[in-house]
Structure 1
Amino acid sequence: MKRTIRTTALVVGALMTTIGLPAATAQADNPAPRVDLRVLVVSDGGPSTDAVAAELENAGTPYTEVELQDPDRAVINAGFLADTADGRPRAKYQAVVLPNDNPFPTGSAEMAAIVAYEQAYSIPQVDAYTYARPQVGLNAAVGSGYAGNIDGVRAEVTQAGKAGPFGYLEGAVPFEDNSPTVGESYAYLSTPVAGADFTPYVQAAIPGRPTKGSLVGEYQHDGRRELVVTFVYNRYQQQYRLLARGIVEWMTGGVHLGVDRNYFAVHVDDVLAADDRWDTVLDCTPGDVDCQPGEGTPNPIRMAPADVDHAIAWQNDRDFTFDFAYNASGTVDHREDNGGQDPLADKLIADRDQFRWINHTYTHAFLGCVQDTSVVPWKCASNADGSTRWVGRNEIADEIATNEAWGVSAGLPLRREELVTGEHSGLKVTPQQPVDNPNLGLALADTDIEWLGSDNSRDPVQRQVGTATTISRYPMNVFYNAGREAEQVDEYNWIYTGRAQGGSGICEDNPTTSTCLAAPLDLATGYTEHIVPLETRIALGHVLSNDPKPHFIHQSNLAEDRIAYPVLDGVLGDYDDLFTADTPVVNLRMKDIGVEMQRRATWRTALDAGQVTAYRIGDSVTVQAPGGVAIAATMPAGTQHGGTGFGAPYAGKVSGWASAEGQPYTLDLPTSAGSPAAAVRPHGAPAVTGAPTDAAPRPKVPSGVAERIPYGAER
């Protein structure tokens, strides 16, 4: 063992003489080192390093991934980690992420190179998931701590964590427990080794003991800093989503490219119209295409003026704004049938400035192929020659323009370039219509539409349709044809139970379908006890994933039992309990969501093409991107560009997009930001002993982390 330590120490010393550092005799004359704003992720194929990489990818933070299992991977050595640029030492990575504290074989030259690099340039290291062991400043979990399942545990951010990288959290870090039969998390809970410089940031009670054990903490030793994570996670789990921002802020010192926000927008479709109601006896919706022609009696659901008052009061209480997608023919027809009276429309027009409004077409007509509804499921009608019969260009344009004209006359605060077609029609829908209506793009150009809503469950990627760019919307499993809880539960039971239980059998035909039920839900309690918690969790997962895509429900869900509100209250209530006031939900309107998504796509393309350069020298950051590419960055509060404050405050930092028209963009950091490379070790400095020599044992990964829980959250 002593021989191994000495060998590694000598390797470290040798590497430090070749890592590109200035000579001791001339250190005072050497320029400050350059640290590139890029993260090195060394992956073993496990879910934790995958989760960290996904966080960086999603935020637009540059990283290089080295997969240890790849036989053709790069070798991590001094030249891979550092060199010289413009006459000054250059650190190629501002942080290193490893699967654990030492994923290499004992005595590895690669691990020694990483140690020397981190010591030389003050580069932090994240141990994505490792055993609690003395090598990371913790006592072994066996005996004095705990090693095992922590599903449903409520962890807490410590005061040091709040004062440090996790200050955006109120304190609680609840661990998911979505399945009683699947292990979803595993952890090693332990206390710091006596005398170790270890600071717990997130901890939980050790079962059977009066003490708490660390789940995330910082270990300082041998001139290095490690963030030690002793629980396993995947990219989707709530506990990781809560901590991901802080992990990135810790490793980068709050200085990095990319932007991360928590978004939530809710579109309410079919406003002014009425939605057909689910028939609990026929198991279909009379008046809609899932019932045979003439089957049942339509019994539509439509908001009342009191529902508008409730929506306004709810918005004011939650500091949130709905986007109302309206169909003007709903009120025109209602007035014709009711002697010119429509109290709902009068109320909505009087309170129009309380909401944002989106054109949803005049009659909610299906704008794709001409539907043949003589059969269930419907099919596309054909021309005499067998070709698909399409709704025409003029008919589509009339639906858009007529609805817009009514909205303008009613004084609605519209953005005329935004559109959501009824049922997202006109866009492809499988299996009946696998391509877009070729007349749709032409009609969008005719009516100057720039932003077009699409259904994320079938069309998740932003794309161009004529003059419009799509904005994918998440469907919430609060059904359009349900105004009462019992109707929602009855339909839910029919969809998600087997044929032997009177259900549709969809889960038997497609076992990967989400939300499948082992037995029907109770009609009286199923909504509150099962559907609301599940839909809350799914939607909150989107909010915590830096995902600006909106969700959509229907006006029927704000009427009668107002069944949307328990889910929306669950999302926003849980969010408020988890996050501090300086990390609010960002509630954007449709066009702004589209712009955000476009900027991200352009930024990602430039990153992937290697067209973005960014580095820090002392208290100055320089970023350069191609012309036409907006720069995304997150910096410490007080950062300036040309004497003007940069970005907007969020989660204790400032962040945002900036345009430099292809020129270098310089940011001046506040002195409080510190310098991660303030003390570069001189050439020939004595090697630090105690460098890691033993490969870390591979910790346990339960099935619920290897596979996503809840299964298939997107429907």
Structure 2
Amino acid sequence: MRRNARTIALTVGALLLTLGSPAASASAGEAPGSTGAARTGAGTAAGTEPRIDLRVLVVTDGGPATAAVAAELDAGGTPYTLVDLSRAGRPVIDAAFLADTTGTGDGRPRAKFQAVVLPNDAPFPAGSAETAALVAYERTYGIPQVDAYSYARPQNGLDYPVPGGYSGSVDGIHAEVTAAGRAGPFGYLKGPVTFEDNAPSVSESYAFLSRPAAGADFTTYVDAPIPGRSTRGVLVGEYRHDGRRELVVTFAYNQYQRQFRTLARGIVDWMTQSVRLGTTRNYFAVHVDDVFAADDRWDTVLNCTPGDVDCRPGEGTPRPIRMTPEDVTHAVDWSRERGITLDLAFNGGGSVEHRADNGGADPMADRFVADRDAFRWINHTYDHAYLGCEQDVSAVPWKCVTDAGGATRWVSRAEIDHQIADNRRWAERAGLPLRAGELVTGEHSGLRLLPQQPDDNPQLAPAVTAEGVRWLGADNSRDPGQRQVGSALTVARHPINIFYNAGRIAEQVDEYNWIYTSRAHGGSGLCEELATTTCLDAPLDPATGYQNHIVPLETATALGHVLSGDPRPHFIHQSNLAEDRIGYPVLDGVLDQYAALFAADTPLVNLPMSGIGAELRDRAAWHEAVTAGRASGYRIGSTVTVTAPAGLPVAATMPAGTTRTGSGGPAAFGEPYAGTVSGRVAPDGAGGLTLALPAVPAADATAPAAAPEPARVPAGRPPVPAGVARPVPYGAAG
């Protein structure tokens, strides 16, 4: 099959969340040994429950740690206010900035933030009025504080890291969540948290490992072995002192690193006590393109793909790659064993052509049709035609054909209609359970494609509208943002860098070497021309390069998308499930590593394309409303109220056991995930939504507040290695 580009009415109202009566155990978000003060706002004047806004204060010094926490809040749709200490004219953090009264006539105190994130435990000078204001605020309203990356020292409940501890690189360490961490905010994890070590020559993380200070009320949540010793040192823990709670983090990180991505949910759960606006999941969906068709094969001598546009017309002999019935059986068995439903983007014309060339027989298609319910099916057009501009393929790279006046000549509306409609009709005749409204055009064609085609084919939008398409696949590497195309919204898909024109490991490694090695090493030199690509130090070994380099790299990349809560699907091609079945090692790597890391209550969410598109749409709408201040929430005592624009579902996360009450009786709120319940919820018929949260323990008697400990600010900020300030790609040093 010829290819044309290489694959590189919620009315403004209230969501009422009502706390229940005391229970025997704390929720997942309640720290062992903590009191109920932080959740109920104890410490204010008796008889006047304060209002606590569901918004986080993030104070940054420009470092990557606070940026990472802010990015996590952003991704979930949790409101926050950012104060940059390095900017002139920034707001002063004083009592008026942190709290006021509601102005509703009752003089009710209002805490403007439910949590505070600081770059470290002492970002202000000793004796600072801003420090005093924060201390008073946190005591009064029971507000938790996160020290995003801090020295280990007695002021934050830890011994100094020397003697007896460690300070330095922690690349490649295997940290563990403690029993307290599993019983508390990190209960969604079960396996070790492995710190990245992508390049031996680059320091990618840094930590201060030490033990809790003598007499400190400190609970360790995540720790790691102290190098050269039999003891373990704290990486994340809670320090209770002075009527306040701090989450102390002693390792450096950025928002992309696996260790932060793994622990980020727990950090946010701790600071919000799992009562917040916004919601996150870990998603994994896999699209397999070109099913029923055949993919052209890479020629290891010509270094191009005969039959496709990277070879000149007539150059080489096409040798197509196409799945067999045995490959179909393997895909069915794999999908059932792994609990992942593959989404098959199919070209019915491929089967018609195969039958015409083989006396009417197509056993592979027959097997797929017999096992059709094992998969989800997406219209991929009838025979994979290019639906953008008309192409001039007489040269490499190809270019768009233009008329005498220089205007681009486009593939016709009739051809686009034929490709969509005929493939749908073929599926109906075959009995495939085609998902209505989903479309992936061949090579995402019709959509803009730089550099040759900077605009969509103007015939595409009316065609997809006429065909009732609501979700249109796009290439995330070229067209990442969701946008409207006629009746459809695009759904960007992540390409896995396993080539469509490779069915054998040898072909994959050979083409990989051609693309990613310099001319001096026998490659194409493309990596030297593209600023976004890193050249290999040397060509990969044909015998080991796939398993030792390509599979770990692509697994790490895909898993990174999963851990960041990105719902966008990944895609490979039917050729990758044929012959050597080179697609499975990457998919298995993602699934195996995820299963080893996360508890059973935090499964991968495997959505169809329509579900992914709806999640991206709703997420963007919620983010816009939160950013514009049109969606917000607050808590007064046992009630939380959320306001949002009419018609916008409210995104919220609550403790497990939360129930929805109403005229129909109690019903479960949201869906259970990672020890909480969450979702995007609409109001009931009465125009509001009332939720009853699980009971929390009665507050323990608190000790008299101690005087603030003297600030002891070290010289400069904690060190941030280059590998934290600038993410290190896998294998950068070979």
TM interval, short-chain normalised: over 0.9
Alignment-derived partner of residue 37 in structure 2:
none
Match of 2:293 in 1: 273
> After superposition, where does 1:412-431 map in structure 2 within 5 Å?
412-431=432-451
1:356 pairs with one of 342, 366, 376: 376
Q: Quote the offset at 1:679 in angstroms.
A: 9.6
Pairing partner for 1:693 from 682, 705, 711: 711
1:534 corresponds to which residue? 553
Distance 1:22 1:481, change over 3 A: closer
Matched, 1:657 2:684: no
Q: Which residue of 1 aligns with 2:640?
A: 621
Deviations 1:398-421 (A, max 9, x none): 100000110111111112200000
**379-388 vs 587-596, greater mean Cα deviation:** 379-388
Tell me, yes or no, if structure 1 residue 64 matches structure 2 residue 54. no
For 1:63 and 1:696, the matched residues in 2 are separated by 28
Query: What root-mean-square deviation, in Å, do the aligned CA atoms of Structure 1 and Structure 2 show?
Result: 1.9
Deviation per CA, 1:372-395: give whole Å up to 9, x if none. Answer: 000100000111222100001111
Q: Is the 8 A contact 1:428 1:436 kept in 2?
A: yes
Gaps of 5+ in 2: 1-40
Secondary structure of the 1:324 match is: strand
Following superposition, the deviation at residue 687 of structure 1 comes to 6.9
CA distance in 2: counterparts of 1:262 and 1:322, whole angstroms:
17
Report the CA distance between 1:692 and its aligned residue: 4.9
Give the match's secondary structure for 2:635.
Answer: strand
Question: Retained in 2: the 8 A contact 1:471–1:549?
Answer: yes
1:432-458, Cα deviation, whole Å (9 max, x unpaired): 001111111011111111100000000
SS of residue in 2 equivalent to 1:144: coil
Counterpart residue type for residue 693 of structure 2: L
Q: Does the aligned pair in 1 maintain the 2:54–2:113 contact within 8 Å?
A: yes
Match of 1:566 in 2: 585
Task: Return structure 1 stretches of 4+ with deviation > 6 angstroms.
Answer: 21-24, 678-681
Q: Pick from 49, 53, 64 the counterpart of residue 32 of structure 1.
A: 49
Residue 621 of structure 2: which of 589, 598, 602 is its match? Answer: 602
Q: Which digits, 9 at most, give the CA deviation of each residue in 1:456-502, with x for residues without a partner?
A: 00000000011110000000001000001110000000000001112
Task: Tell me what 2:692 maps to.
Answer: 668
CA deviation after TM superposition for structure 1 residue 711, in Å: 7.1
Q: 1:268 to 1:275 in 2, by over 3 A?
A: same
Q: Is the 8 A contact 2:285 2:569 kept in 1?
A: yes
- Deviation track 1:327-369 (CA, whole Å, cap 9, x = no partner) reads 0010000001101000011001111011000000001000000
CA distance, structure 2, for counterparts of residue 72 and residue 694 of structure 1:
26
Residue of 90, 109, 124 corresponding to 1:73: 90
Shift in Å, 1:22:
11
**1 CA distance for matches of 2:690 and 2:136?**
30
Unaligned runs of 5+ in 1: 1-20
- The size of the alignment, in residue pairs, is 683
Shift of the 555–117 alpha-carbon distance from structure 1 to 2, 3 Å rule, reads same
Of the three residues 408, 425, 433, the one matched with 2:428 is: 408
1:16 matched to which residue of 2?
Answer: none
In 2, Cα distance between the equivalents of 1:217 and 1:23?
A: 24
Alpha-carbon distance between aligned partners in 2 of 1:112 and 1:242, rounded to the nearest angstrom: 33
Tell me, in whole angstroms, the C-alpha distance in 2 between the residues paired with 1:504 and 1:566.
27
Amino acid at match of 1:689: A
| Cα distance change, pair 477–692 in 1 and its aligned pair in 2 (3 A) | farther
How far the C-alpha of 1:606 sits from its partner, in A, is 0.6
> What is aligned with 1:213?
233
Picking from 167, 183, 186, the partner of 2:206 is 186
Contact 2:118 2:148 in 1 (8 A): yes
1:677-698 per-residue CA deviation (whole Å, 9 max, x = no partner) reads: x9999xxxx9741245333551
> Equivalent residues in 2 for 1:458-473 (5 A)?
458-473=478-493
The aligned amino acid for 2:511 is E
Q: Is the 1:475–1:551 contact (alpha carbons within 8 Å) kept by the matching residues of 2?
A: yes
Residues 692, 463 of structure 1: alpha-carbon distance in 2 compared, 3 angstrom cutoff:
farther
Q: Is the 8 A contact 1:107 1:694 kept in 2?
A: no
* Deviation of the 1:667 alpha carbon: 2.8
Instruction: Tell me what 2:145 maps to.
Output: 125
**Residue 590 (1) aligns with residue 590 (2):** no
For the 8 Å contact 2:42–2:142, the answer to whether it is kept is no
In the aligned structure 1, how far is the partner of 2:59 from the partner of 2:323? Answer: 55
Distance apart, 1:271 and its partner CA: 0.1
After alignment, is 563-572 or 659-668 more displaced? Answer: 659-668
Q: What displacement does 1:628 show?
A: 1.4
Structure 2: how far apart are the matches of 1:464 and 1:472? 12
Amino acid of the structure 1 residue aligned with 2:159:
N
Aligned position for 1:9: none
Question: What does residue range 270-349 of structure 1 map to in structure 2 within 5 Å?
Answer: 270-349=290-369
Deviation at 1:660, TM superposition (A): 2.8
Task: Note if contact 1:95-1:124 (Cα within 8 Å) is conserved in structure 2.
Answer: yes
Which of 594, 598, 609 is the aligned partner of 1:575?
Answer: 594
2:277 to 236, 245, 257: 257
Q: Give the superposition deviation at 1:510.
A: 2.0
Provide the C-alpha distance between the structure 2 equivalents of 1:237 and 1:633, rounded to a whole number of angstroms: 26
**Deviation per CA, 1:272-307, whole angstroms, max 9, x where unpaired?**
000000000000000000001100000000000001
1:58-207 aligned at under 5 Å gives the runs 58-85=75-102, 86=104, 87=106, 88-207=108-227
Q: Distance in 2 between matches of 1:421 and 1:614?
A: 42
The answer to whether the 8 A contact 1:624-1:663 is kept is: no
Distance in 2 (CA, whole Å) between partners of 1:223 and 1:370 is: 71
Task: Give, in whole Å, the separation in 1 of the partners of 2:696 and 2:504.
Answer: 55
Residue 712 to residue 31, structure 1, CA distance change in 2 (3 Å): farther
The DSSP-based 3-state class of the residue aligned with 1:123 is coil
Once the two structures are TM-superposed, the CA of residue 211 in structure 1 deviates from its matched residue by 0.5
Paired residue secondary structure (1:227): strand
SS in 2 for 1:297: coil
Which residue of 2 is the match for residue 702 of structure 1? 721
Shift of 1:674: 7.2
Q: Which structure has the highest helix share of the two?
A: 1
C-alpha contact (below 8 Å) 1:158/1:171 kept by paired residues = no
2:64 is matched with: 47
Q: Which has the higher contact order (CA 8 A, sep 6+)?
A: 2
Aligned residue for 1:17? none
Cα distance in 2 between the residues matched to 1:668 and 1:450? 37
- The answer to whether the Cα contact below 8 Å between 1:154 and 1:175 also exists between their aligned partners in 2 is yes
Provide the C-alpha distance between the structure 1 equivalents of 2:701 and 2:74, rounded to a whole number of angstroms: 30
Partner amino acid, structure 2, of 1:82 = A
Q: Is the contact between residue 102 and residue 692 of structure 1 (CA under 8 Å) also seen in structure 2?
A: no
- Give the letter aligned to residue 671 of structure 2: A
8 Å Cα contact 2:79-2:632 kept in structure 1? no
Q: What displacement does 1:201 show?
A: 0.5
Identify the residue that residue 7 of structure 1 maps to in structure 2: none
Q: Quick one: which amino acid aligns to residue 184 of structure 1?
A: E
The change in CA–CA distance for 1:692 and 1:414 in structure 2 (over 3 A counts) is: farther
TM-score of the two chains, using structure 1 as the length reference:
0.93
Counterpart selection for 1:644 from 647, 667, 678: 667
8 Å CA contact retained: 2:122, 2:713: yes
Q: Is the CA contact (8 Å cut-off) linking 1:103 and 1:696 kept in structure 2?
A: no
Match of 2:7 in 1: none
- What are the superposed Cα offsets for residues 536-572 of structure 1, whole Å, 9 maximum, x if unpaired? 0000000001110000000000000000000000000
1:525 equivalent in alignment to 2:549: no
